[in-house]
Structure 1
């Protein structure tokens, strides 16, 4: 039995049809029922809401594989999974194009004031704004050089944007002309800064009062990685003091954020509900990869359809 506790693209269900599947996209909301369901599960497929922790694994003694419909692992107890020898299927890079297009598309729209101009025009105004900025020859600081950071850098180059990259875990992968000598220099030298690193003890609140002080007043911050990378109170203070031109946040420290939301009151802050990586194409690719990985793991363990 394969238990799927969150929404999956239909192609994933089709690819898994030879195995018995229990699919309930809202099962993650009913923890007690989830724990009952995994008692007979050979595999579990989740997104980012299902906590795959020691408790769940105790209730799922037969689990051989866990598929993650996304790339963040914060809801998975990796050490507990490793100790049990459970295969973890993560489709790294499957949503890199979606996120890269979000980053560069929103960057251009923000710098050209297009959202504001579109709203004003629909309200009956005809204001020909001449203060929008081109992104050509500006500097984009990319923090993290995994599949998504690489996708952003490649597309930025096509737009003739200068690229600065910092990722101490992948230094040798970064072209010499793109390498930033330090994270501090990247913050200080970039017109736009985009975050593409996992959340861990080193990256928690990496955007904080000290690092914000290094940035230019006309710098733009884009976060599509994890909300906890940014100290939102420090960011709000910086923005209200006109020490940053703006922020584009697809992820938040708490999702959904509390209401009222101070950042939502600022006109130079754009907020979206953690959808940068969610496109029809990326979700199909992710479902295909996870379904294939889970199938392989089960067959390797001797589980036949």
Structure 2
């Protein structure tokens, strides 16, 4: 006799089966991840939904008009000032990511392949700057690049320049330099982990088959470490687009990024819906740019091989 013939009661699990399921590995696994999932939902997902909801509303003085509208997105995408800030923010973020990964990869490669028994010491030294406040690290670069700072003083002392340069600070180059230094450790670590997982016998096999060290690197080491490179790139790129402190302190008017405009809308302008629309637009643009970069990296490595 089928379950349908027996009626709805046949589809209901018995108390014994329910108790058995509660003691199963599946139930324990769900019980273990449920608090974490709920916490992530409350802390990450719900705030994003609130921001998205605000982006479709309108600010009427001190009140919020909850009538659906796309006017905020029209301003975000058509106003020249916001377009320029989007382009500048993406350009600075991409530049910082490329430079950071380019400098971090050799460091991670050296530690992984030639660190020997001192690998942990090297990793410890790399993370030491992260022990200090992010604000203090940004301020230190303001002192280094300033008119009477370490850089100008050093260049004058060795005779390269006659008077201090004013072009070292308060521009997009200062923002790039500061962000590269601040995020270098976060790029080195995922690349190092990816390099550590590479089976060294694969490199030896490539060398035995006639590849030079350089060719073996491009055919074996680089492709196998690509997940670490992609992780490092995204770890650097995504936060730097929305960085507010660094452009504020060392960027000047030429280094202003979109986060400054977003802060202004949520602050003095008191236009939360427009600020939310700028935030959502930034998230979408960053996601598209990140996806394009990942595909470009994979295609480039595939062509190199």
Q: Sort the TM-score into its range (normalised by shorter chain).
A: under 0.3
TM-score (norm 2): 0.25
More helix by percentage: 2
More strand by percentage: 1
- Higher relative contact order structure (alpha carbons within 8 Å, sequence separation ≥ 6): 2
